[in-house]
Structure 1
Amino acid sequence: MTPTAATAAKAPTGSTSADTSKPLAADAPFFIVMNAGSGRRQSDETRDVLERELGAAGRRFELHVVDDPHRLADVARKTATAACDEGGVLVGAGGDGTLCTVAHAAHEAGCPFAVLPRGTFNYFSRDHGIPADLEQSTRLLLDARAYPVQVGFVNEQMFLVNASLGLYPRLLEDREIYKRQFGRSRLVALWSALLTLLKPHRHLRLHIDHEGSTTEIRSSTLFVGNNRLQMEQIGMPDEAHALEQGLLVAIAPRPVGRLMHLWLSLHGAAGRLSDSDHVVSLTFERIVVTHPSKKRKPVKIATDGEVAKLRMPLEFRVSGKPLYLLKPEPSVAEANRS
């Protein structure tokens, strides 16, 4: 696969060198926002671990469990304000979608952010070496430093892992239906993806404006990645390296039928997507995506697993301001990535 274009490498906005980290006050309180959609049992387990680990260390914390997902962003913003006022840390507990919503509030408020991974895939936390085990990730809060990490935006919607339009948002909507029926697991997620790929789908016609030139593409989906681990897993090491240089990666399959889509997905699952001639990629700091007809009708956009509607044009960009994330020292984080 040959990238359609690439920008020159620059100093990464997500640098994790020691001289860019921010130490925290020894008594900095933690303000934790958790989406209760994962169930009462998980909420109770999280509270028990927080009381045992943070309480034993004499660290103050507040746990805000949000029962209504529609209130998550509002609760996160209010809690971020409280964290800033008291020199504390805003913590997201949940999967990548929940973490993105809470991180957006921390990014806007300018306070440090931390995560307690409670999702299915946990791409964001895994990429930064944060343990999936709840007790270990809670203990990490006590001595971690805040390092700057890169975040992306599509219009005003932030994403930590990826953003997309076309077939991928549909795949996520179908996945949620299957999860409600059969439970949350990687097997259910993969099975629902297979069924969606076998359904009829249409190809998008898009114009991509990048550094003064316009490229027209036809594809079933446009996928923009901001996660090194995800890029490595699907077999795109060059694109994974570009993320470390402060860039985002756009990926689009060429117009192909359903069986070829399935074949490409299997290539990705086997870590061999870069071997395919049916995929194009683009590394960038900023692109603008429009429809040739200049339609401004809202389109479905998926950001970190959550689907919303945004109006064209769509501006995908690297944020000029990093998110300060509590994570292990760089050497430890690298060893923890899996």
Structure 2
Amino acid sequence: MPATTSAPTPASDAPLFILLNAGSGAAETDERRAAIEDVLQAAGRRFHLELLEDPEGIDEQARALAARARDEGGIVVAAGGDGTINAVARQAVEHGCPFGALPQGTFNYFGRTHGIPQHLTDAVHALLRASIRPVQIGTVNGRIFLVNASIGLYPKLLEEREHDKQQYGRSRFVAALSALKTLVLPHRRLRLSLEAEGKSLHLRTSTLFVGNNRLQMEQVGLTGVTPDVADGELSALAPKPVGKLRMLLLMLRGALGKLADTDDLVAFGFRRMTVRTPLYGRRRLKAAVDGEVLHLTTPLQFEALEGKLLLLVPGPDDAVPG
């Protein structure tokens, strides 16, 4: 979530170093590249655009672009979904340079939260007139996340969703059916010991979800339960041990934005939290960080860091309601 202070509008001649995810097919990638280049060339703005063709190389490409942005007084920009935006933002934070986003994913929680238009041409125009605002990031074991991080069932759900999208197409309908399928299949529960804000909590849960995105919390109806992360906190959510039917009802409540009405969910806000697996000691767990599935070693250390990302946000005339 954004902090309340804003920095001045960046220099009008600051060069843009753009990483465009080419994972949507050649024709669509060419169309997106042309849309970006047409606007920037018409505006007379200096820029350098690279295509991300191999996802395995995203960190290396993002690191090189962020270094150039830092050295040349420029701005590093991500054009893609939440995973691409996360990777480039991570390098922007490490290199201390401003960061711009041109969201092109399915849900676009990060872009929508900050009023960035989803239409690519509009987003590029807004970028040219944007101002810099320091915004909050979350970290888990030092790994940055802008939207959410989780362990347990949710990473499995994301893996199944990606598999199903490749087979049946990328849409919210496919994502919802994939999630439903994952929930009804057998899954193991985690035994966790949490320490946050001087308090301890022992949980048995299918998944632990940590959010850094007000819009996502609003959509499932939890802003009245968990503190607003604009106050410098992250939101922790964990379903209680329930059967499949009640888990499906919990999912339905989330889809309807009514999770605040259920007793089957543990939810609280925090600035720092340690998560341990008491029965196993140090253990590698599958985690999802802004949609990327990876492995992290316990104990997990979550932390909210205010004002660490220097984000270009649209002005009032360009901002789009989330």
Count of aligned pairs between the two proteins: 322
The Cα offsets for residues 85-112 of structure 1, whole Å up to 9 and x where unpaired, read as: 1111100011111100110010111101
Q: Are residue 269 (structure 1) and residue 275 (structure 2) matched? A: no
Using the alignment, how far apart are the partners of 1:28 and 1:332 within structure 2?
20
Partner residue, 1:47:
33
Amino acid aligned to 1:35? N
Partner residue, 2:105:
119
Partner residue, 1:291:
277
The alpha-carbon distance between structure 1 residues 318 and 74, as it changes in their structure 2 partners (threshold 3 A), is same
Using the alignment, how far apart are the partners of 1:331 and 1:26 within structure 2?
18
Partner residue, 1:147:
133
The Cα offsets for residues 232-272 of structure 1, whole Å up to 9 and x where unpaired, read as: 00001235652111110000000011111111000000000
Using the alignment, how far apart are the partners of 2:52 and 2:83 within structure 1?
14
Partner residue, 2:321:
337
Q: Give the secondary-structure state (helix, strand or coil) at the position aligned to 1:91.
A: strand
Partner residue, 2:51:
65
Q: Are residue 91 (structure 1) and residue 77 (structure 2) matched? A: yes
Partner residue, 1:248:
234
The alpha-carbon distance between structure 1 residues 111 and 306, as it changes in their structure 2 partners (threshold 3 A), is same
Using the alignment, how far apart are the partners of 1:25 and 1:66 within structure 2?
27
CA RMSD of aligned residues (A): 1.5
- How many angstroms does 1:294 deviate by? 4.5
Amino acid aligned to 1:314? L
- How many angstroms does 1:156 deviate by? 1.8
Choose from 100, 106, 109 the match for 2:86: 100
Partner residue, 1:205:
191
Q: Give the secondary-structure state (helix, strand or coil) at the position aligned to 1:27.
A: coil
- How many angstroms does 1:331 deviate by? 8.4
Partner residue, 1:186:
172
Q: Are residue 14 (structure 1) and residue 40 (structure 2) matched? A: no
Using the alignment, how far apart are the partners of 2:263 and 2:82 within structure 1?
30
Using the alignment, how far apart are the partners of 1:127 and 1:73 within structure 2?
24
Q: Are residue 215 (structure 1) and residue 201 (structure 2) matched? A: yes
Q: Give the secondary-structure state (helix, strand or coil) at the position aligned to 2:23.
A: helix
Amino acid aligned to 2:49? L
Partner residue, 1:163:
149
Amino acid aligned to 2:285? V
Q: Are residue 30 (structure 1) and residue 16 (structure 2) matched? A: yes
- Greater than 6 Å deviation, 4+ residue runs: none
Q: Are residue 238 (structure 1) and residue 210 (structure 2) matched? A: no
Q: Are residue 226 (structure 1) and residue 217 (structure 2) matched? A: no
- Please identify, of 33-42 and 242-251, the stretch whose mean Cα deviation from structure 2 is larger: 33-42
- Please identify, of 210-219 and 258-267, the stretch whose mean Cα deviation from structure 2 is larger: 210-219
- How many angstroms does 1:211 deviate by? 2.6
Q: Give the secondary-structure state (helix, strand or coil) at the position aligned to 1:324.
A: strand
Q: Give the secondary-structure state (helix, strand or coil) at the position aligned to 1:163.
A: strand
- Please identify, of 233-242 and 61-70, the stretch whose mean Cα deviation from structure 2 is larger: 233-242
Using the alignment, how far apart are the partners of 1:295 and 1:36 within structure 2?
41
Q: Give the secondary-structure state (helix, strand or coil) at the position aligned to 1:106.
A: helix
The alpha-carbon distance between structure 1 residues 331 and 16, as it changes in their structure 2 partners (threshold 3 A), is farther
The Cα offsets for residues 1-31 of structure 1, whole Å up to 9 and x where unpaired, read as: xxxxxxxxxxxx83244xx323211101110
Q: Contact 2:136/2:305 (CA < 8 Å) preserved in 1?
A: yes
Q: Contact 1:160/1:226 (CA < 8 Å) preserved in 2?
A: yes
Q: Are residue 78 (structure 1) and residue 67 (structure 2) matched? A: no
Q: Give the secondary-structure state (helix, strand or coil) at the position aligned to 2:266.
A: strand
Partner residue, 2:294:
308
Using the alignment, how far apart are the partners of 1:239 and 1:213 within structure 2?
18
The Cα offsets for residues 210-249 of structure 1, whole Å up to 9 and x where unpaired, read as: 1333210111000000111100000012356521111100
The alpha-carbon distance between structure 1 residues 318 and 117, as it changes in their structure 2 partners (threshold 3 A), is same
Report sequence identity in percent. Answer: 51
Using the alignment, how far apart are the partners of 1:201 and 1:277 within structure 2?
21
Amino acid aligned to 1:288? T
TM-score (norm 2): 0.96
Gaps of 5+ in 1: 1-12
Q: Contact 1:80/1:90 (CA < 8 Å) preserved in 2?
A: yes
The alpha-carbon distance between structure 1 residues 310 and 274, as it changes in their structure 2 partners (threshold 3 A), is same
Gaps of 5+ in 2: none
